[in-house]
Amino acid sequence: MVQKVTNKMTKKEWLEEQVMVDEWGRPPSLADVPLTIMTREEAFTKQGGSKKDINELWKQTKETLNDKSVQK
């Protein structure tokens, strides 16, 4: 269900990817909190992320992917 992020992934695909999070959009942890599946964009919104925050995280993710593809 969760797709692997690749260097060919667009920002739209990345934001629409289904991720497993708690009901507040946070990543799973050891706490006894029910988990759900939502899009990455919904999770960022529930965490209070702004469009600027999302754009910055996408930029960092894209740079990380590019670094990994160069190392191969």
Report d(CA 7, CA 24) in Å as an integer: 28
Helices (H), 17-50: 40-46
SS3 state of residue 28: coil
Is residue 19 within 8 A of residue 1, CB to CB? The reply is: no
Domain total of the chain: 1
Find tokens 């529930």 and name the residue.
46
Q: What percent of the chain is predicted at pLDDT more than 70?
A: 81
Domain range enclosing 55: 11-71
Q: Give the model confidence (pLDDT) of 42-66 as tens digits.
A: 999 999 999 999 999 999 988 887 7
Q: Could you tell me if residue 6 is inside a domain?
A: no
Q: Could you tell me if residue 3 is inside a domain?
A: no
SS3 state of residue 71: helix
Whole-prediction pTM:
0.74
Report d(CA 29, CA 27) in Å as an integer: 6
